[in-house]
Amino acid sequence: MEYLILLIYKLIMNVLSCVLLPVFCLLLPPLDSTAPEASFFSSAAPHMQNQRKSSCWWVVSLLLTSRGKYIYQRSGASYAGKYAFAILWTGCLERDQDDFILYHECSELLEWKALEKKRSPGGIETLVSSKHFGKPRFKLNYILTKGDYVHFDFQVNGIEVPRHRSKEKAVVHFPASNKDAVSSGDIDYDLHVYKGSNRVAVRKHVLQKDSATKKFHWAWQHRKRPGNGKKGAYLFQAHDVEAEITVVKHWEKKGK
């Protein structure tokens, strides 16, 4: 008898839940999107979206090659030099909301050749080879997001010439990317790019691809003569540059 009563009770409750509960829900006021409960659930989706974005990162490599020359004259002596180098920089990018975080990994000097010839007033010539030159050092300062582009700001340290023994020295400049500002020292590097462009930037949509490569070329030269008829050094310098950026997308979190 008790079992029969319990069975009837469950049957009645099932009917009430199927009929009355939907009606009760219809009578409730709509959920306010500004209510704390609504904002809690609506913020969950962007949070999960950010987690997915954080798992996307990029391996970036920048191969920089350059060939250049210079002529330095002072006190009757003339120095003519030439050089060539290749540098490979590698690192990683991670998205940070609308910007990126840059991780430096390594910079490797793949090639370095240099030679300087001195011609003295008496016509005597002497040579100085690469081992007497300071090696070029690459520095990637930062990346900057401007509009639809990601800009790479870098420079290679210059060297002092002549490499022969001399009391007076001058600076031979090595390649640098566009900075939209006056470069350090007495030369605005960007103003003396006469062919191509040293603005090294990739469009954001390139980062959506699995991998992409873009090349940049420019030629640069500068002359410095004694001013106002005064005695002084004369320095001519020039170089050609190729920068190649390769970006490879990865979906695993960095470090895994």
Q: Which backbone phi and psi does 122 adopt, to 5 degrees?
A: -80, 0
Residue scoring higher pLDDT (179 or 109): 109
Host H or E run for residue 74: strand 57-74
Task: Report the pLDDT value the prediction gives residue 128, as an integer from 0 to 100.
Answer: 84
- Which pLDDT band holds residue 53 (cuts at 50, 70, 90)? very low
- CA-to-CA separations, 53 to 38, 90, 104, 255, in angstroms, rounded: 24, 22, 21, 15
Are 159 and 135 contacting, i.e. CB atoms less than 8 angstroms apart?
Answer: no
Mean pLDDT of 195-223: 95
Task: Report the pLDDT value the prediction gives residue 243, as an integer from 0 to 100.
Answer: 98
Residue pLDDT, tens place only, 176-197: 999 854 454 568 999 999 999 9
Given a cut of 80, whether residue 229 has pLDDT beyond it is: no
The model's pTM = 0.73
Residue scoring higher pLDDT (251 or 32): 251
Residue scoring higher pLDDT (147 or 4): 147
- CA-to-CA separations, 199 to 89, 98, 237, in angstroms, rounded: 17, 21, 21
d(CA 205, CA 148): 8
